[in-house]
Amino acid sequence: MNILFGGYRDWSLRVHADLVKDWPMELVSDPQAFEQSVARRRFDVIILAGWSWIIPKPIVESVEIVGIHPSDLPNYAGGSPIQNQIIDGVRDSAVTLFRLTPALDVGPIVYKEPISLEGHLSQVLREIERASVVVLRRYLTNWPNNPNQTQPSERARARRRLTPAASRLTAEQIATLNCRQLWDFIRCREDPYPNAFFEDETGRLVIRWVEFEPPARDPEPS
């Protein structure tokens, strides 16, 4: 079984390191290396995890390609799914393994694994890593006899990728957002993403890490 794995983010490289122990596979981390590998060798399946580039249509139509998307598709298709969910107050989500089609994030769904979006971004990324290993091991173990794939029941409304400029906290946001909302705004932009910042005429205040403490509950009556 010839497998190509495309990924460059730290969590996706750890997913590859886990899978390659049982399934030999070639690793590529940028679009140029990806297209060179596909031109040089025929693959039975291509896996994309933590991948940010659009695959050319002729490649999508010529080989089985499955992708990891860190949302409960069709919800939060498109760019910046982790950040968009956290900003919207989503606490429980899923990692979705789906088959790529020429349209973005609307291919048949193969497997899903629940994840929590609570905690610092590093914790969320570990959840995504764990769930990705679960669905990909299930897929590779069952290949080529995976269950019939299911099409999303509704067409995904793709969300836009957030730009670095979207990490700017405005005075209005600071005045109107509550503590939990500010925590969500900041924590979803922890490293390795462009950090939240506030700026005025004196300079820029970059916020890389904050802690949030929910209100203490009153003790139960004895």
Average pLDDT of the segment spanning 39-57 = 94
- Radius of gyration for the chain, computed over Cα atoms and rounded to the nearest angstrom: 20
Task: Tell whether 151 is covered by a domain.
Answer: no
- pLDDT given at position 159: 81
Which position has the higher pLDDT, 159 or 82?
82
- Region 194-210: what's the mean pLDDT? 95
Residue 97 near residue 110, CB atoms below 8 Å:
yes
The pLDDT tens digits of the residues spanning 68-80 come to 999 999 999 988 9
Map tokens 């971004």 to a residue: 121
Per-residue pLDDT at 146: 84
Specify the range with the lowest mean pLDDT, choosing from 49-63, 148-162, 177-191, 193-207.
148-162
The answer to the question of residue 29 being in a domain is: yes
Which residue's structure tokens are 């349209």? 103
Please tell me the total count of domains within the chain: 2
Give me the pLDDT at residue 155, please.
60
Please give the full DSSP string across 93-120, using - where no structure is assigned: EEEEEEE--SSTT-SPEEEEEEEE--S-
Report the percentage of the chain scoring pLDDT > 90. 82
pLDDT score for 217: 75
Specify if 216 maps to a domain. no
- DSSP secondary structure code for residue 62 in this structure: T
Give the mean model confidence (pLDDT) for residues 179-199: 96
Q: 25 and 130 in one domain?
A: yes
d(CA 12, CA 218): 42
| Tokens of residue 1, six digits | 């079984």
Spatial CA neighbour of 95 closest among 126, 73, 119? 73
Q: Are residues 136 and 179 in the same domain?
A: no
Same domain, 48 and 14: yes
Q: Say whether both 85 and 191 belong to one domain.
A: no
The pLDDT of 176-202, averaged and rounded, is 96
According to DSSP, the residues that pair with 97 across neighbouring strands are: 68, 111
The CB-based long-range contact list for 30-34 (8 Å cut-off, 24+ gap) reads 34/4, 34/6
**Predicted confidence (pLDDT) per residue in 87-111, tens digit:** 999 999 999 999 998 877 778 999 9
Residue 102's pLDDT is 84
d(CA 45, CA 2): 7
* Closest listed residue to residue 115, CA positions, set 126, 105, 103, 106: 126
State the Cα angle at 45 between 42 and 49, rounded to 5°.
Answer: 120
Tell me, what's the pLDDT at 53?
92
With 0.75 as the threshold, say if the pTM is over it.
yes
- Same-domain check for residues 84 and 190: no
Instruction: Report which residue type is found at 189.
Output: R
> Is the domain of 103 the same as that of 171?
no
For the stretch 116-172, pLDDT in tens is 999 999 999 999 999 999 999 999 999 988 877 776 656 666 788 899 999 999 999
143 vs 169: CA distance, rounded Å? 47
The residue segments making up the domain with residue 65 are 3-142
Distances (CA, A) of 44 to 32, 37, 64, 170: 20, 13, 7, 49
